[in-house]
Amino acid sequence: MQLNLTVTFATNRYHGRISDEELEFPPSPSRLFQALIASSHCGAYSVIHTDKRDRALQWLESLEPPMVETSACRETGRGITNYVPNNDNQIPLAHIPNSGHVRTAKSFLAKVFPASNTLQYSWRFESDQEADENAAVICKIARLVTHLGQHQDTVYVCGEIASDVESFDEANTMRPVEQSDGDWTSPKAGALDGYRRRYQAWLKGDSKDNVSVPARRVHYRSPETISFDAPMALFELWRDENERLRYDPRDLRQPAAMVRHAMIEWLEARPSFRRHYGEELTSRLIAGHEGDKQHNGAHIACVPIPTMREEGIADGLIRRVLVIGFGCEERNAVEVFEGVTNGINSVDLKDQTVKVGYLKRASLNDAVLRLFTRKECRVWRTVTPLILTGLMRRGRGAEPLIARALKQAGVNENDIDSIAAFSGPIIPKTVRALDYRVADYLAETPRYHAEVIFRKPVVGLLIVGRGRHTGFGLMMPWHI
């Protein structure tokens, strides 16, 4: 069975945002859930059939995040600001200068729907008497919703229950991927009570942000988007409580090796952990040893992240290392990844045997990391050089070998529009390819910076070529 809530924007515009310069589109399921709560907790609806209402909302919060079918829309108003009188009790007096209303800035940033102005949220559920009754109540509550987004975002919502799972327009359907660093939220068990506590705090004059609300974090991706997802944990490198460690970007292997050593020390101190998950799996994932391939090439990588800014300009020094669980899809592999990344938080960071600092777990919403993982983009450029997986020869330059490395990373060659290779840096504050220090097998093949243009938007962490487990071939989206 499927519960569909169709939201129609009466003014063909949507202004809901998560910051002054960033819209939340599509509106998160949590935002729609709050609208359902607000509409069903006012007036007469706050005192009649409250048991059925609450039971239905608690049922809805227990469902997996919905799919969202969007319509074509365009962004408008970016960079345009209007100043309007703020809500206050000031009375303008002609004989007193500046005695009028305090003015506040209002951004014009919005989404405009040129054709269809509807969105559809679809939850799937197992049919039984209780679930069917709750779904019917949600459909009735949906009729009461009048706003979604900001106060000017007037909507009307229609609910329906489909006995068969409907087919979707794949080009416009966004499917949820639940991850701890997701940009959208969807309610989970306890959300209704959390929002009630938040509202009571607001009535008392307290900050509602101090009240936590249970929620799932999800990514919404279009089927047309090429996604690279893997478990991740970000660590900052600190010398002491007041100073971070900083490493030259040409020495990628040094911070990567120190974090790897911290993981190995953690593993060696826990023989029961090794016995529980097996020597082969723990050695492959944490120590990087070759195994019998039964775990589909799963491997934990330590990728230094150079410090960048939105405009691509920064000092480029390494203050963070991202731990990535490539191929960690099986339950045991995920549990090993979570165990070691939780375990090395706050442990000593050693260069050989000398302590130089410690690791500190950071949020995956870190501003620097988001530059590499959060933008759907067709143009990607290397921050660290891509080490080719073969040698060039007459008639085969760097570009075909870069295409082969992309294919090995999971990119379909038909999704590649063009590739250009460069010996020098193509992002400010990065370093030319030959200046990076390599050794052993990484020195056997050439390395280049590259710009790759895809035919479809790409999102996620894109790392390509040899040495990608130590940070070589790290790419970032580049909006020209």
Per residue in 413-439, pLDDT (tens digit) is: 899 999 999 999 998 888 999 999 998
- The pLDDT of residue 294: 44
Task: Calculate what percentage of the chain has a pLDDT beyond 90.
Answer: 55
Helix (H, G, I), strand (E, B) or coil at 89: coil
Asked if residue 100 has pLDDT above 70, the reply is no
- Confidence band (pLDDT; 50, 70, 90) for 207? confident
| More confident of the two residues 472 and 46 | 472
- Confidence band (pLDDT; 50, 70, 90) for 87? low
Of 291, 309, 308, 310, nearest in space to 300 by CA? 291
Ranges of H-type helices in 3-45: 29-40
pLDDT in tens, 43-74: 888 888 899 999 999 999 999 999 999 887 88
Strand blocks (E) in 99-154: 103-107, 110-112, 118-124
> What's the average model confidence in pLDDT over 294-302?
73
- Confidence band (pLDDT; 50, 70, 90) for 165? low
What's 247's DSSP letter? B
Asked if residue 296 has pLDDT above 60, the reply is no
Domain boundaries, the chain: 2-73+113-224, 78-111, 229-372, 375-480
- The pLDDT of residue 98: 57
- Alpha carbon distance 306, 316 (integer Å): 5
Q: Please state the pTM of the whole predicted model.
A: 0.73
Query: For the structural domain made of 229-372, what CATH number should be given?
Result: 3.30.70
Asked if residue 315 has pLDDT above 70, the reply is yes
Domain 2-73+113-224 identical in fold to domain 229-372: yes
What's 55's DSSP letter? H
- The pLDDT of residue 293: 43
> What's the average model confidence in pLDDT over 138-162?
93
Asked if residue 458 has pLDDT above 70, the reply is yes
- Alpha carbon distance 103, 109 (integer Å): 18
- The pLDDT of residue 130: 94
Distance of CA 465 to the CA centre of its chain: 24
pLDDT in tens, 369-405: 988 987 788 999 999 999 999 998 888 899 999 999 9
- Confidence band (pLDDT; 50, 70, 90) for 406? very high
Mean of the per-residue pLDDT values of the chain: 87
pLDDT in tens, 243-275: 999 999 999 999 999 999 999 999 999 999 999
> What's the average model confidence in pLDDT over 448-466?
93
- Alpha carbon distance 439, 429 (integer Å): 23
Asked if residue 290 has pLDDT above 80, the reply is no
> In CATH, what is the architecture of 2-73+113-224?
2-Layer Sandwich (3.30)
450-478: b (≥16 Cβ within 10 Å) or e: bbbbbebbbbbbbbbbbbbbbbbbbbbbb
Asked if residue 159 has pLDDT above 90, the reply is yes
- Alpha carbon distance 207, 189 (integer Å): 23
Asked if residue 27 has pLDDT above 60, the reply is yes
pLDDT in tens, 316-351: 899 999 999 998 888 899 999 999 999 999 999 999
